[in-house]
């Protein structure tokens, strides 16, 4: 944790300022082990392995942290994947462009391993905070600690430990996996300053009936209950089908006979992912089978979220004909 993060933190219980009570371990400028306290209610929050913990989850095992550390080098260095991830992120954030991040204080709701957090930081954001509830914060921290403008915080999206201090907040593929997506969205929006902006990308209800009717029941009753290593292996089977179909049918069909390709099942999306290799496609399939909770949200419902925060300059964009990108200004 970088000390300047204190300026943005607020107690998730009472909203009071957060102070550094004492730190027992530093690594260069990073606070690794410390205790934070709320000036108002005296509650204490710990900094463990460099990450402030505002969500009382079971203690994350040391070995997970170690694994993250081992992979850290790889994640912090430029990889070939970066260009594709950047493109993908901007696709989800449309109409936002790279230069939109310049000098902004940014919050990412659900940062996972910190892939998008790093991109936002590299696009010139003044500060970027990535929050996540899961153990992924260990990885995200290792992946981003060398970036002077990135902060990783373990927190609950419904009880964000921040002041209303953000110029921009975004959330990609996270809200629909929370128990109450709209409430999570409103919580994120509540941390955006007047005149700031918010972006969200969510699964759409439209065109996804085949998922909600057939895949979701299987996910809820079966695949999300499997151990992750088992599902990792098992999900190779459907990935194999998707991989062959996208590479042998969707990609060539869209290149050669677009009008015909448009008639193919789920063409926009499957053509879109045909550019990805095996690992990325496996990741996508795994992702669709692993989550215990997933909502598919209609345009009408999504619009209602934006109306509730009274967003201006609102844009809702249909993405690959199966999901929604939303963007708006908070006044």
Q: Which residues bind Zn ion (CB under 5 A)?
A: 11, 13-14, 16, 38, 40-41, 43
Name which of 40 and 329 has its Cβ closer to Zn ion. 40
- To the nearest whole angstrom, how small is the minimum distance from the Cβ of residue 166 to Zn ion? 20
β-strands 44-48, 127-132: how paired? unpaired
Name which of 46 and 247 has its Cβ closer to Zn ion. 46
Query: What are the phi and psi torsion angles at 153 (to 5°)?
Result: -135, 135
Name which of 11 and 192 has its Cβ closer to Zn ion. 11
- To the nearest whole angstrom, how small is the minimum distance from the Cβ of residue 14 to Zn ion? 3
Q: Contact, 68 vs 60, CB < 8 A? A: no
- To the nearest whole angstrom, how small is the minimum distance from the Cβ of residue 122 to Zn ion? 34
Q: How many CA atoms lie within 13 A of 133 on its CB side?
A: 12
Beta-carbon contacts of residue 166 (< 8 Å; ≥ 6 apart): 105, 106, 107, 191, 192, 193, 196
- To the nearest whole angstrom, how small is the minimum distance from the Cβ of residue 152 to Zn ion? 21
Which residues are registered as beta bridge partners of 317? 325
Strand order in the sheet with 105-109: 18-27, 30-38, 44-48, 51-53, 150-154, 127-132, 105-109, 166-172, 192-203, 323-329, 312-319
> How far is the first Cα of the chain from the last one, in angstroms, to the nearest whole number?
31
Q: Where are the beta strands (DSSP E) in the chain?
A: 18-27, 30-38, 44-48, 51-53, 105-109, 127-132, 150-154, 166-172, 192-203, 312-319, 323-329
Name which of 28 and 44 has its Cβ closer to Zn ion. 44
- To the nearest whole angstrom, how small is the minimum distance from the Cβ of residue 19 to Zn ion? 11
Name which of 76 and 190 has its Cβ closer to Zn ion. 190
Name which of 40 and 182 has its Cβ closer to Zn ion. 40
- To the nearest whole angstrom, how small is the minimum distance from the Cβ of residue 38 to Zn ion? 3
Q: Contact, 132 vs 116, CB < 8 A? A: no
């Amino acid at each position: 944790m970088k000390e300047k993060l204190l300026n943005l933190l607020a107690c998730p219980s009472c909203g009071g300022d957060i102070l550094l009570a004492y730190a027992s371990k530093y690594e260069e400028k990073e606070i690794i082990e410390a205790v934070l306290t709320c000036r108002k209610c005296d509650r204490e929050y710990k900094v463990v392995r460099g990450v402030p913990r505002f969500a009382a989850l079971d203690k994350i095992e040391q070995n997970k942290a170690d694994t993250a550390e081992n992979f850290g080098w790889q994640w912090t260095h430029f990889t070939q994947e970066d260009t594709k991830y950047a493109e993908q992120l901007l696709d989800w954030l449309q109409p936002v462009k790279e230069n939109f991040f310049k000098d902004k204080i940014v919050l990412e709701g659900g940062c996972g391993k910190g892939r998008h957090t790093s991109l936002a930081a590299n696009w010139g954001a003044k500060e970027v905070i990535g929050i996540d509830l899961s153990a992924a914060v260990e990885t995200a921290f290792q992946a981003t600690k060398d970036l002077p403008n990135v902060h990783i915080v373990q927190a609950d999206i419904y009880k964000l430990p921040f002041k209303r201090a953000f110029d921009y907040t975004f959330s990609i593929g996270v809200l629909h996996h929370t128990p109450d997506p709209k409430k999570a969205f409103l919580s994120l929006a509540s941390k955006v300053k007047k005149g700031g902006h918010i972006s969200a990308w969510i699964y759409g209800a439209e065109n996804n009936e085949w998922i909600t009717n057939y895949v979701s029941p299987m996910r809820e009753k079966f695949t999300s209950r499997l151990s992750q290593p088992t599902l990792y292996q098992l999900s190779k089977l459907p990935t194999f089908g998707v991989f062959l179909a996208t590479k042998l049918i969707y990609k060539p069909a869209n290149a050669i006979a677009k009008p015909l390709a448009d008639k193919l099942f789920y063409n926009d999306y499957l053509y879109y992912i045909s550019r990805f290799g095996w690992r990325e496609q496996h990741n996508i399939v795994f992702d669709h089978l692993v989550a215990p909770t997933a909502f598919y949200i209609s345009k009408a419902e999504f619009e209602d979220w934006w109306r509730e925060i009274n967003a201006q300059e609102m844009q809702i964009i249909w993405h690959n004909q199966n999901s929604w990108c939303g963007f708006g200004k908070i006044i």
